[in-house]
């Protein structure tokens, strides 16, 4: 699902087979991204092909990535972030071909236990002046709004039912998209 953080409106959803990879289910929704949007995503979507496909939509990206991903410093920026490159594979990285420029923001947030959670973000917003690292770090945490949407769908629209009632794949699709439309109607009404 693609969800607008401020209103919780679902503006794109796609359903796929149970055994499908998450990216295979999500990739068709990229067509809903447009220039002027900022797409937030968690660690599961930071592969080169994912980044390249999403960037091609013209939307800006702010995605979390794993700490062990190779993102060498190409140029340090005054806000503590840095410019880097991602490559399709190690051979391309060694040869310096096929890379995509991006910016990396690293920071930590304390937990209640006193430990800190480390975050590493990749973004297409390359200018530290136009998009300071601290603002992007704060913005990234709005990604958790999708969890509130899942709560709305599960708790309020399903009224405690754990599964869809339909018994055939085609009816499951209809029920799922009906559920998404009902949620959209409620969110539309709440924002008027």
Q: What pLDDT was estimated at residue 190?
A: 81
- The secondary element (H helix, E strand) that includes residue 190 is helix 169-190
Least confident of 25-34, 77-86, 144-153: 144-153
Contact 132, 138 (CB under 8 A): no
Paired tokens of 11: 């503006």
- The secondary element (H helix, E strand) that includes residue 75 is strand 75-76
Domain limits, the chain? 33-142
Paired tokens of 89: 């594979």
Q: What pLDDT was estimated at residue 163?
A: 66
Q: What pLDDT was estimated at residue 15?
A: 83
What is the pLDDT of the chain when averaged over all its residues?
87
Mean pLDDT of the 37-48 span: 86
pLDDT by residue (tens digit) across 98-116?
A: 999 999 999 998 877 878 8
- Cross-strand pairs, 110: 116
Q: What is the rounded distance in angstroms from the CA atom of residue 11 to the CA atom of residue 8?
A: 9
Q: What pLDDT was estimated at residue 24?
A: 83
Cβ of 63: how many Cβ atoms within 10 Å?
23
Residue 134: band (very low, low, confident or very high) from pLDDT cuts 50, 70, 90: very high
pLDDT by residue (tens digit) across 66-86?
A: 888 889 999 999 999 999 999
Q: What is the pTM of this model?
A: 0.83
């Amino acid at each position: 699902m693609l969800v607008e953080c401020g209103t919780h409106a679902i503006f794109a959803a796609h359903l796929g087979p149970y055994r499908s990879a998450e990216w295979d289910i999500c990739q068709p929704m990229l067509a809903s991204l447009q220039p002027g949007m900022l797409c937030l995503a968690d660690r599961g979507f930071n592969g080169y092909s994912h980044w390249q496909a999403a960037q091609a939509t013209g939307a800006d990206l702010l995605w979390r990535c794993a700490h062990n991903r190779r993102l060498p410093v190409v140029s340090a920026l005054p806000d503590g972030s840095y410019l880097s490159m991602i490559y399709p594979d190690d051979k391309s990285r060694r040869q310096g071909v096929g890379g995509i420029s991006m910016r990396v923001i690293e920071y930590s947030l304390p937990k209640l236990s006193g430990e800190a959670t480390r975050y590493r973000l990749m973004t297409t917003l390359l200018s530290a002046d136009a998009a300071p690292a601290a603002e992007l770090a704060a913005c990234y945490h709005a990604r958790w709004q999708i969890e509130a949407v899942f709560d709305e769908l599960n708790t309020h629209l399903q009224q405690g039912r754990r599964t869809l009632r339909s018994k055939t794949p085609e009816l499951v699709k209809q029920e799922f998209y009906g559920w998404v439309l009902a949620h959209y109607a409620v969110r539309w009404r709440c924002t008027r």
